[in-house]
Amino acid sequence: MRLTTLFTIPRVLRHSDAIGADLPPDDAVVLDAPDPSLRVALAAAASGDHAPAAELLAATREHAQWERRDTCVSRLARASLHHPGWLDSWLEVSPEDPDAVLVKADQYVFQAWQIRTGARARHVEADQFRAFHAVLRDAVPVISAAAELNPHDPVPWRIALTQARGIQAPREVFDTYLAEADTRDPHHEGCHVQALQYLCAKWYGSHEEMFAFAERAADQAPPGSRLHALPLQAVVEYLIADDETPGPDPYRERAEAAVTRAQALSDSYAPGDREAAGFRNHLALVLWSMDRYEEALTAFRSIGVHATTSPWTYFGEARAEFLEARSDTRVELAMKVPFFRPSPRPPATGTQDWERELAPRSVAIASTGPTEVAQAALICGHSLRTAPAASHHTYVEVVPDPARGRRAALLPDDPLTAAADNFTTGEDWPALVLHRTPERSSFTLLHRGRKVADHAWETAAPAADHARAAATATALARVYGLSDPRPLAHVLRAAGDPARHQSELVAALGLPPLPAGYGGRQEILEGLPGARVLARRGFLAGMRDTLTTKDGVHPEAPPQAEPHPARWWVLRTAALLLFTSTAVYAWWTPDIGWFRSTVMTLLAVDSLARLVRALRRRPVSSTPPPATS
């Protein structure tokens, strides 16, 4: 670790909690969140019903909504890989339906790439390549049928361009397909993205050819078109190529021009707009990689909860990479703020959508009584509300404090998980922490102060990998003493309705049902019988209460500190000034020894600490502290 990094750690601890405080919490971020109508179609498809998908795609065809149609077809095709029954029954009933055939064509391409994987060619086995090419060859008649059934549709030609890239089609074939796509929609984003992939250096083109194509398409695009961000996608492809060139970067100016163009396009969309999420994620990645952290934070703000698979999947699991880059941006900015300067405040933009609707609703179920939870949670750093749940279980939720504690600022983003991590340490009983948003439901199992298992269901996500689901189910069964983990694995691999699957898992574990209202309001335990609040304590006060509270007794609320009179503030301020000036004089004058200089310094530090502690105890919000019962 560099010495300069050590010096900046105090800045990070002081400022990182405030920088980006208006960003959505990690649990609110969803990967490739569908719009409401597509969400309905995907959920119905997961249960075997193709009618909503047929209705949705028919509307996009009738109204020539080619961009939206492309998005819907891609998502439905991916979903059909894991739940093929609905598409098979649709084709059986309507084999000439242009929408069903189009989804089938795209399914072939997604299936082929699933076999090949997204790895570089040198890391793909020969057997994978043979299967990859075989599936792509099988796709040819289906793609042709989709193009013939709806001659005005550019989406079959986007699929054809992807297929041509996979089978190593010559340039003449690529040019023909691209011309066919341009004839139907000269500004279709999906077709241009696939053409850019064909022309990039890792496939069949070069950096120069890729940039020239992207810039030409952007120059010809109408105002507001997402093609204005196509050069930004070229920048991402150039960055991941990782070419080492001596001397100045030959594409630096073009990359900066692409960023400027994409920022102007982003400004034309509302914050959190789902339609702009794709190019905004590319923008955030590029700005972050260029160390332009202020602008990257602005891009992350504009993204809101809408992370996208591309481009983050180039670096690993897409959602995790997005969250890591966002966190790193906050840390880098905090390192640049002087320690004694006030933490920067986020721009005043009013209440964000995620605050009103998308913030995760959280509750934990601890497998012990409320008194045991309260005694174990005395030093967790958060105020908690507990309520009895059935026999020998406890519901737990976080009660927002008027002012966030210092230790809470250093803990992970989710306060309930951090609190459960603390209060299960050294205990035999586990705690299941549950989170829910409109698009995503998840859980984290904590036992003996460590994470044992976690899982998330998302509306449009495919079923979980069988091996991973089985491992998670085995861990859950071991902690809760269940002999057969297979029912748990079945629930973990379910898809389509995250909230229902979360409730099914709680029932399968033999835990009390989720409390009424969970998923709606933020705090739901207040009205339950026996609900009580455990007020947050300082670390030393928490240790003292831990040692003095009798077993089986709910800890009392800490006494409220009485406000100091004006005379106290005057005397303490005067003492601080006196001791500080004396200490400076003592260290400056060679006649005064080190012992007296040190004593004066310690007195000055003590006076400062008393003033700071008193200032922190003063009310900083009109919101009263949580009442205890």
- pLDDT tens readout for residues 13-46: 677 777 887 888 888 888 888 888 998 898 888 8
Distance CA 497, CA 66 (A): 28
According to the model, what pLDDT value does residue 622 have?
37
Hey, what long-range contacts does 522-529 have (CB within 8 A, 24 or more apart)?
522/359, 522/361, 523/385, 523/397, 523/399, 524/361, 524/363, 524/397, 525/363, 525/385, 525/386, 525/387, 525/395, 525/396, 525/397, 526/385, 528/387, 528/388, 528/395, 529/387, 529/388
- Max CA-CA distance within the chain? 100
- pLDDT for res 7: 58
Residue 624's pLDDT band, with cuts at 50, 70 and 90, is very low
Q: Which of 52-56, 588-592, 624-628 has the highest mean pLDDT?
A: 52-56
- Which structure tokens are listed for 476? 């859950």
Query: What mean pLDDT is predicted for residues 288-300?
Result: 94
Range of lowest pLDDT (366-375, 445-454, 573-582): 573-582
State the chain's mean pLDDT as an integer: 86
Both tokens of residue 271?
């914050």
- Would you say residue 354 has pLDDT above 60? no
What confidence score (pLDDT) does residue 123 get? 78
pLDDT at 405 over 70: no
Given the structure tokens 């498809």, which residue do they identify?
45
The residue ranking higher by pLDDT, 540 or 494, is 494
Please state the length of the chain.
Answer: 629
| Structure token pair of residue 565 | 């009179």
Residue 356 clears pLDDT 60, i.e. is over it: no
Q: How high is the pLDDT of residue 616?
A: 64
Q: pTM here?
A: 0.78
Q: How many CA atoms lie within 13 A of 388 on its CB side?
A: 8
Closest by alpha carbon to 441, among 464, 459, 418? 459
Before 223, cis peptide (omega within 30)?
no
The three-state secondary structure class of 250 is: coil
